[in-house]
Amino acid sequence: MDLLNTLVDKGLRRELPTREEALAVLATSDDDLLDVVAAAGKVRRHWFGRRVKLNYLVNLKSGLCPEDCSYCSQRLGSKADILKYTWLKPDEASQAAAAGLAGGAKRVCLVASGRGPTDRDVDRVSQTIKAIKEQNDGVEVCACLGLLSDGQAERLREAGADAYNHNLNTSEGTYGDITTTHTYADRVDTVQKAHAAGLSACSGLIAGMGETDEDLVDVVFSLRELDPDSVPVNFLIPFEGTPLAKEWNLTPQRCLRILAMVRFVCPDVEVRIAGGREVHLRTMQPLALHLANSIFLGDYLTSEGQAGKADLEMIADAGFEVEGAGEVTLPEHRAAAAGGGCGSHAGAGCGSDAGAGCGAHEGGGCGSHEGAGGVCGTAAVATAAEPRADLVAVRRRGAGTDLAPNA
């Protein structure tokens, strides 16, 4: 297929596809799906080999968020029966992080519900970062705390944070349909603050909220322009008790096409399969490893994920290997500018030769979202999938409980 040959050539050169080419990937048929995966897989292997980076989420503060993000199980007015608790103490958070690190994760994502941190919250998270770093050599820490005020990104970096996550979630044109308590511009501003402070920027999207193909291409092109080092791709988990609990717009095939499109547009960044992979990709998760080079290990913020042991077996059975703590995630040209750190910005943009992450969040943060749901423009082109509410399980273990985590 000429389209795929063109996209592979562009991906190997870090050249931006056209919008028409990106839309064409989403419009490919199921008959052509394996060809699409194989083509995007060439780009993924060129920049990242067969390494899979493991990330682990710690929900520092769960529920009771004042924001109204309609995809979020922690939102204002949510009826979802999730865990609710206030800030974990630094030693509690460090203990939770240790479980994920023991399972093979190299990055810990510290997430807290809320509009954004107060200065006292930044102090609290800074103590947690220091505790985790003191007890775990070489660990990367990504903070995901919502909208940042001036100076807060710098303080997190001084405390030892390596990255900051804040997702765009959907296109600018339809953002107001999913949230009214803050704006798309607010989100862009926070990503820019993190970037300017020298943190590795992590920003992604949520698919399955009723968006069109055009919306998906819009947000991915916007992400490329923002130039994050990592792009988490979340698939809506329709939690009961959230506005779009009945929205089931994704099939495994559509999820794979979305991941392929992201890889072609951002060929040399860490593409992470975040929240919802178990719900929507299901038995086709191994194919997604040919497109993305990063996943979350174990559970998410408020929902359960696949067993950590099953994640590791899936990676090995698919012919991939877990990325080691001593390996640099990003290609040399992106990591070199900041001394080869955990994904620091390099002179090249999100797959381009001009200009110079974490993963799962609800209500404005760390990348993979649970309970995502919100009307994003007109109905999606894809045929709606059969609801699989049986695959949506509220997290009852790990952080905020007395039970062992899934790692």
The span from the CA of 251 to the CA of 267, in Å, is: 24
* Torsion from C-alpha of 57, 134, 144, 342, nearest 10 degrees: -90
Sorted by sequence, the CB contacts under 8 Å of residue 369 that are 6+ apart come out as 71, 72, 167, 169, 206, 234, 236, 237, 274, 275, 276, 301, 360, 361, 362
Give, in degrees to the nearest 5, the angle at Cα 40 between 39 and 41.
90
190 in Cβ contact with 166 (< 8 Å): yes
* Active site residue ranges: 65, 69, 72, 109, 142, 202, 272
Q: Cα angle vertex 391, ends 406, 362, to 5°?
A: 70
Three-state DSSP state, 335: helix
Q: Is 272 annotated as a binding residue?
A: yes
Q: Please give the Cα distance from 157 to 365 (Å, whole number).
A: 17
202 assigned to a ligand binding site: yes
Would you give the DSSP letter of residue 383? Answer: P
Q: Return the sign of the alpha-carbon dihedral for residues 254, 70, 146, 114.
A: negative
CA 300 from centre of chain: 11
Buried b (16+ CB within 10 A) or exposed e, 149-162: eeebbbbbbebbbb
Confirm whether residue 342 is marked as ligand binding. Answer: no
Task: Tell me whether residue 69 is annotated as binding.
Answer: yes
Output the six-digit token pair for 337: 């500018």
The binding site for [4Fe-4S] cluster comprises: 65, 69, 72
The binding site for [2Fe-2S] cluster comprises: 109, 142, 202, 272
The binding site comprises: 65, 69, 72, 109, 142, 202, 272
